[in-house]
Amino acid sequence: MYLVKDIGIDGSVLPKVFSVFFACSVIGKFGFGLLSDYVNKEISMICSICLLTIGLIIVRLATSDSINYLFAYAVIAGIGFSGTFTTIQLLVAKHFAGGSYGKILASIVMIDSLAGGVGTRVVGKMRDASGSYDAGWELLITLCVIAIFCTVIIRLLGRSADTTQT
C-alpha cells in the first residue's frame, strides 16, 4: 500500500519487485550460509543487517520517478533479510549449542514472528497517526542499527569468553 498510495508507484510494477525480492532471498539464504562457513558468524550477521538497512534506506528514498530504487531495494533487502534469518540460526547454534538448543531457537523464532506481526500493526498505527510511513521506515532503520550494535557486543563478549577459557 505504501508504494502505491504514498509514493504513487504503478501497482502493476509491484509483483515484479516482490518477485525480485523473493528470488534474492533465496540467494541470501545460500550466500550467507556459505559465507558463514568461511567468516565469523557475527561478521556475517552484521553484513546481512547492513544490507537490510541499506535496502530500507533505499525504499525510504523511493519516489514515483525512481522505479529503479524499488528494484535496488528488492535485491539488497531481499539478500539482507534472508541473510539475517539464516545467520541468526547459526549464531544461536554457536552460542547455545547443547541440549537446550531446540528450545532456545524455537523461542527466538517465535519472538521474531511475534515481533513481525506486532511491528506491522505498530507501523500501520504510526502511518494512521501521522499520514506518512516515514516514521515507520525510520523506526525500522533505527532497529537495524541497534541490531548491528547488539551483534558487535555479542562478538566482543564471545571473544572475551574465549580468552578467559584458555
62: left (phi over 0), alpha (psi -120 to 50) or beta: beta
H/E element, 149: helix 134-165
pLDDT by residue for the chain (166 residues), tens only, comes to 677 777 788 888 889 999 999 999 999 999 999 999 999 999 999 999 999 999 999 999 988 788 899 999 999 999 999 999 999 999 998 888 788 888 999 999 999 899 989 999 999 999 999 988 889 999 999 999 999 999 999 989 877 665 555 5
The one-character DSSP state at 62 is -
What the chain holds in terms of domains, given with CATH numbers, is: 2-165 (1.20.1250.20)
Instruction: Report the pLDDT value the prediction gives residue 62, as an integer from 0 to 100.
Output: 86
pTM: 0.89
Q: How many helices (H) and strands (E) does the chain have?
A: 5, 0
Give the pLDDT confidence score for residue 153 in this predicted structure: 94
- How many whole angstroms from its chain centre is CA 96? 22
